Amino acid sequence: MTTLKIGTRRSQLALWQAGYVRNALRHAHAGIDVELVGITTEGDKTLDVPLSEKGGKGLFLKELEQALLNGRVDIAVHSMKDVTVSLPDGLHIPVICERGDPHDAFVSSRYGELRELPAGAVVGTCSLRRQALLRYRFPELNVVNLRGNVNTRLQRLDDGDFDAIILAAAGLQRLEMTNRIRQSIPTGIMLPAVGQGAVGIECREDDINTGRLLQPLDHALSHARVAAERAANAHLGGGCHMPVAAFATIDDEQLQVRGMVGWPDGSEVLFAQVQGRLQQAERIGINLADDLLVQGAAAILQDTYGD
């Protein structure tokens, strides 16, 4: 019997994602044994400061990737919105599972949608992308940093610390908390993060057998969309926790990518949109980034995070 070990963070959502991949592998291959290996990351330990001040969401990956490199686990399962632009030498992400809901979710105990919030309402999110777009489109709101796992953030909302919070819709749906979503925020108001809603599987490049076992889980259209978005982010020199969005959609054989780069204070937000043939996903993403760079995106990113 073939045994695969999946490295995963211990959060409820991370365990759901790892369990999803485990079940998919068992369905694809008779006689396979899949074990979950819980790993605590630096990002799980550092909850008192904004991620952007501690190195971004790469803090959620380092220990998982080290476990891959030293052979403690065979694969690691990630929310693609948390995955850094570059990967350690020897590792790759050959599989993107079928993408879930990419939208951001408006969650509130008192209000039905963003536009109902009164001036001065307190909105919590740790994402610089969300902060930039909220402050740009709703400058009357008081947008503050909010970290922690999904349950922690919801508890703080319920305790009255916030009038509303913004979370990824896919996470709430996967945790069977769809009832907490008051509004699926239209992408015309809030462009999703790079890879939001998609689950990716990372493994060692030289582990040919594991790569073969993983291949049936790859969803080609989701993979193309995420590839375009990540190519845009990489060409911008952005990270996974910068005021950057890139969101790809597919219509027939045409792939369209919309993107934004903005000052975290919302004083200026740049937008771009490009499209092309599905087979050129990464090139389309690069073209989107070039458009944003021509508009001045580099100055925003460099000022926010330095050279």
**pLDDT digits over 198-222, tens only?**
999 999 999 999 999 999 999 999 9
Q: Are 210 and 134 in the same domain?
A: no
**pTM beyond 0.85, yes or no:** yes
Q: 112 and 44 share a domain?
A: no
Residue 189: band (very low, low, confident or very high) from pLDDT cuts 50, 70, 90: very high
Share of the chain above pLDDT 90, in %: 82
- What is the reported pLDDT for 237? 86
pLDDT of residue 215: 97
For residue 255, what pLDDT is reported?
A: 98
Where does the pLDDT of residue 307 fall: very low under 50, low under 70, confident under 90, or very high at 90 and above?
very low
**Model confidence at 50: pLDDT above 70:** no
Residues 130 and 239 in one domain: no
- How many distinct structural domains can be found in the chain? 3
Asked whether the predicted pLDDT for residue 146 surpasses 80, the reply is yes
Flag whether 271 is in a domain: yes
| Average pLDDT rounded to a whole number, residues 104-131 | 96
Q: Is 89 a catalytic residue?
A: no
Q: What is the CATH number of the domain that holds 285?
A: 3.30.160.40
> What's the whole-number mean pLDDT along residues 149-168?
96
Average pLDDT across the chain, whole number: 92
**Which one is catalytic: 33, 44, 48, 82?**
82
The reply to whether 164 falls in a domain is yes
Q: Indicate whether 59 belongs to any domain.
A: yes
Residue 240 pLDDT > 60, yes or no? no
pLDDT at 61 over 90: no
Pair (157, 280) in one structural domain: no
Q: Domain range spanning residue 118? A: 104-184
Task: Report, as an integer, the average pLDDT of 73-93.
Answer: 94
The conformational region for residue 98 under phi > 0 = left, psi -120 to 50 = alpha, else beta, is beta
pLDDT the model gives residue 290: 98
* Residue 89 is assigned to a structural domain of this protein: yes
What's the whole-number mean pLDDT along residues 27-50?
78
Same domain, 31 and 112: no
* 11 or 178, which is more confident: 178
Residue 47 has pLDDT above 60, yes or no: no
One domain, residues 64 and 204 = yes
Specify whether 113 is located in the same domain as 252.
Answer: no
Please give the pLDDT value at position 2.
87
- What pLDDT is stored for residue 272 in this prediction? 98
Strand order in 254-262's β-sheet?
244-251, 254-262, 269-277
The pLDDT, as a whole number, for residue 277 is: 96
Both 206 and 81 in one domain: the answer is yes
* 71 shares a domain with 205: yes
Would you say residue 150 has pLDDT above 50? yes
Q: Is residue 45 part of a domain?
A: yes
C-alpha to C-alpha distance for 104 and 181, rounded to whole angstroms: 9
Look at the block and give the residue holding tokens 């939001």.
196
